[in-house]
A and B are shown apart, each in its own frame.
Chain A
Amino acid sequence: MDKRQQQLADLQQHLQLLGEQFAQRLREELPQLADKAAQLQLAADPSEQLQHLGELREQLHKLAGSAGTFGFAELGQRARELELQTQQWLSSLQLQQQGLQAFVQELQQLASSHEQPATANPVAPTSSGLSKAPRSESAYRIYILEDQAKVGETIRLTLNTFGYQARHFLTTAELDTALAEQLPDALIVDVNLGNSQQTGLDYAEALQKRLEEPLPLLVITTQNDFHTQLQAARIGAMGFFSKPVDVAKLESRLERCFAQQNGEPYRVLIVDDDRDLSSRYSLVLRGADMLVEVVNDPQQLFEAMGRFNPEVLLLDVNMPDCSGPELAQMVRFNDDWLRVPIIYLSAETDIARQMSALIKAGDDFVTKPISDNSLIATVFARAQRARLLSTALARDSLTGLLKHADIKEQVVIEQERAQRNGKPASVVMLDIDHFKQVNDSHGHAIGDNVIRALANLLRQRLRRIDSLGRYGGEEFMAVLPDCSGEQALRIIDEIRQQFSAIRFAGEHSEFSVSLSAGIACAQGQSPDALMEQADRALYLAKHSGRNQVRLAS
């Protein structure tokens, strides 16, 4: 890295630090702002109201002016709108109770959406281990609109066993009341709402239009026709499920929605000899929450790729020593980087020449001058696709968990770590009881749903530091660092009970399934011995009547 790049990196780091401090300030100030707005509603006389309003306007104005500088552009925009609202009230000297209600809610929502640090921090291991439900404080809120009480309740209960906080509403009026209090993280609607004229889709469509940001939406229906699916797609539905609803599938889709929202930032590497342009692109992409690194000298590309491991590569076509397409071909020499999409940046508008560059290597073109939005959109689309593919290849395709060899690798790593730091680590082997019968009587597709459901349940209930793998057909393995055998026994037994409570939709009837598990705690034995102990404990659980968890003695 030359001096200038180093300075730029230091600067970016400094700016990021300031951004984090600002985020911290937001976490303190936004709730205060929301409180102040709530006081407005309680204020007895107009002069008191005016004073509160004036203070609110001043603070919102500040926020509108500052948030964008620290990368919170949307917050700044919303603060600006709220500021204008206070301005209007102040100049008309008239406060409408209804408008005020919405105003207070908006502020409360802003406050709650900034409760967490903006960047996802990995969960640090805690000494309390698994004693409490990992998700309970930050459970995703799911609202379900379903006029059939039984169907709605089944979905609600099942989602709750998966660790969500689901609420069920029979009518749009009930849902409206709940939405006014608090917005959910996702919404599930039934298309047919009894004898109501308005369908669930019409309702969701109107709702999405009212919201600043549309909610993740899943649709359930008995009407599986093209027209209904089209309407669902048009209002941004992320899933479409025919009744009777397979709740495990529904849950797996929800899981995917949230995984997309909370993913790590995309890593983008830019190669361009023009320093000003490349730092401009870098700034734009960073503004869209991506991690960006810039290489001005093509010779440093491979070193940077090895170190930074980009998910997307942006290559300038015309550089003095070698061209973008030449570099792209060189990148493709290495099998490890086959998955990295390559986008050319070029002033080239000649289609034929673009084509010839693409045929050599590379995936897409953006033509200079590039608008910020088209740059972000192109990079984002490629990065998203690349990550989906890469996850699909590295993980078990059915469950999204680690594969056999990788989970065994985790046992080795955690066993070594436990030995080093003197903390316990537990290994769990789980097996679905009588799984063959499920396949035989309901078919493999439904058997797969059962496997996926257990995978999702485990993912929901275990911590982020835990590793989870699909060990064999219906066999799973989990490695729980910093967790004693007794703690592991408690949490796995809770999962066992929850799993057996899930109702699956079978070919002709609903059914439920149980699991057995064996646990061994690392106490200086080799990784192989550890796994064997867990396996023996599982064997014991199976032979003592199944549907139970055993701890190796």
Chain B
Amino acid sequence: MPELKRILHVEDDPSIQAVARVALEAVGGFQVLSCCCGQDALDQVQGFAPDFILLDVMMPGMDGPQTLEKLRQLVDIGQIPVAFMTAKVQPSEIEHYRSLGARDVIIKPFDPMQLATQIRAIWSQAHG
């Protein structure tokens, strides 16, 4: 299984951005690039070359699913797993996000101590 190192995190809320960065860098030992919106992610994704993409669903302007749609044209999401983050928890919605190409959905609010573990689990499933 390839090693998971670089994570691209797209999130418009600065508080969540900061806590996720701590959770992924300090707890998980990953390298994180935070983007504040979909366009920012599209501009940086090729330069950063992430192993994993974490996408907030509800963002002003381009939302998570729209961003994913555009990301697919730039990178191979078969190789770079994408997970959505959202506060909504209906099973039908999770199915819907999967159908868009996401590997899984991380439910907000998340536990900062557990986030890295959750992402590793998604990673190993994607590459298992």
Q: Which of A7, A76, A279 contacts B26 (CB 8 A)?
A: A7
Cα-based distance from A279 to B117 in the complex (angstroms): 14
CB contacts (< 8 Å) of A64 on chain B: these are: 87, 108-109
With A62-B13, A69-B108 as contacts: A80 and B19 at CB distance below 8 Å? no
With A21-B15, A25-B15, A61-B58 as contacts: A67 and B109 at CB distance below 8 Å? yes
A65 at the interface (CB under 8 A from B): yes
With A11-B26, A11-B27, A62-B13 as contacts: A69 and B18 at CB distance below 8 Å? no
Residues in A1-52 with C-beta less than 8 Å from chain B: 7, 10-11, 14-15, 18, 21-22, 25
B39 at the interface (CB under 8 A from A): no
Cα-based distance from A25 to B18 in the complex (angstroms): 13
Residue-wise interface mask of B (87-117) relative to A, using a CB-CB cutoff of 8 A (1 in contact, 0 not) = 1000000000000000000001111110000
With A14-B26, A68-B108 as contacts: A22 and B15 at CB distance below 8 Å? yes
A291 at the interface (CB under 8 A from B): no
Distance between A233 CB and nearest chain B CB, rounded to angstroms: 36
Distance between B103 CB and nearest chain A CB, rounded to angstroms: 20
Chain B residue at minimal CB-CB distance from A83:
B87
Cα-based distance from A69 to B115 in the complex (angstroms): 10
CB contacts (< 8 Å) of B60 on chain A: these are: 58
Query: Of A11, A73, A80, which is in contact with the most chain B CB atoms at under 10 Å from its CB?
Result: A11
Distance between B55 CB and nearest chain A CB, rounded to angstroms: 13
Distance between A175 CB and nearest chain B CB, rounded to angstroms: 36
Residue-wise interface mask of B (9-28) relative to A, using a CB-CB cutoff of 8 A (1 in contact, 0 not) = 00001011011001000110
B86 at the interface (CB under 8 A from A): yes
CB contacts (< 8 Å) of B15 on chain A: these are: 18, 21-22, 25, 66, 70
A139 at the interface (CB under 8 A from B): no
With A18-B19, A22-B15, A80-B87 as contacts: A69 and B109 at CB distance below 8 Å? yes
Residues in A68-82 with C-beta less than 8 Å from chain B: 68-70, 73, 76, 80
Q: How large is the interface on B (under 10, 10 to 19, 20 to 34, 35 or more residues)?
A: 10 to 19
Cα-based distance from A21 to B22 in the complex (angstroms): 14
Distance between A480 CB and nearest chain B CB, rounded to angstroms: 41
Distance between A86 CB and nearest chain B CB, rounded to angstroms: 13
Query: Of A10, A68, A69, A283, which is in contact with the most chain B CB atoms at under 10 Å from its CB?
Result: A69
> Is there contact, CB below 8 Å, between B58 and A15?
no
With A58-B58, A61-B87, A80-B87 as contacts: A69 and B13 at CB distance below 8 Å? no
Count A interface residues, CB 8 Å: 24
> Is there contact, CB below 8 Å, between B26 and A65?
no
Residues in A396-446 with C-beta less than 8 Å from chain B: none
Residue-wise interface mask of B (23-49) relative to A, using a CB-CB cutoff of 8 A (1 in contact, 0 not) = 000110000000000000000000000
Chain A binding surface, main DSSP class: helix
> Is there contact, CB below 8 Å, between A68 and B113?
no
Cα-based distance from A58 to B109 in the complex (angstroms): 15
Cα-based distance from A171 to B13 in the complex (angstroms): 47
Q: Which of A18, A25, A76 contacts B109 (CB 8 A)?
A: A76
> Is there contact, CB below 8 Å, between B16 and A15?
no
CB contacts (< 8 Å) of A7 on chain B: these are: 26
With A69-B108, A69-B109 as contacts: A11 and B22 at CB distance below 8 Å? yes
> Is there contact, CB below 8 Å, between B19 and A65?
no
Cα-based distance from A66 to B16 in the complex (angstroms): 7
Q: Which of B18, B27, B86 contacts A65 (CB 8 A)?
A: B86
> Is there contact, CB below 8 Å, between A69 and B112?
yes
Chain B residue at minimal CB-CB distance from A10:
B26
Cα-based distance from A11 to B21 in the complex (angstroms): 12
Distance between A60 CB and nearest chain B CB, rounded to angstroms: 10
Distance between B32 CB and nearest chain A CB, rounded to angstroms: 14
With A58-B58, A65-B86 as contacts: A283 and B113 at CB distance below 8 Å? yes
CB contacts (< 8 Å) of A279 on chain B: these are: 113
> Is there contact, CB below 8 Å, between A66 and B112?
no
Distance between A85 CB and nearest chain B CB, rounded to angstroms: 15
Query: Of A22, A66, A68, A70, which is in contact with the most chain B CB atoms at under 10 Å from its CB?
Result: A66
Distance between A78 CB and nearest chain B CB, rounded to angstroms: 13
> Is there contact, CB below 8 Å, between A14 and B110?
no
Distance between A379 CB and nearest chain B CB, rounded to angstroms: 19
Chain A residue at minimal CB-CB distance from B114:
A283
CB contacts (< 8 Å) of A18 on chain B: these are: 15, 18-19, 22
CB contacts (< 8 Å) of A11 on chain B: these are: 22, 26-27
Chain B residue at minimal CB-CB distance from A69:
B109
CB contacts (< 8 Å) of A58 on chain B: these are: 58, 60
> Is there contact, CB below 8 Å, between B18 and A66?
no
Chain B residue at minimal CB-CB distance from A12:
B113
> Is there contact, CB below 8 Å, between A69 and B16?
yes
Cα-based distance from A437 to B112 in the complex (angstroms): 64
CB contacts (< 8 Å) of A14 on chain B: these are: 22, 26
Distance between B57 CB and nearest chain A CB, rounded to angstroms: 9
Q: 10 interchain pairs (CB within 8 A)?
A: A15-B112, A21-B15, A25-B15, A62-B13, A62-B58, A65-B87, A66-B16, A73-B109, A76-B109, A283-B113
* Interfacial residues, chain A to chain B (CB-CB below 8 A): 7, 10-11, 14-15, 18, 21-22, 25, 58, 61-62, 64-70, 73, 76, 80, 279, 283
Q: A18-B18, A61-B87 are in contact. List 7 more A-B contacts (CB 8 A).
A: A22-B19, A68-B108, A69-B16, A69-B109, A69-B110, A70-B19, A76-B109
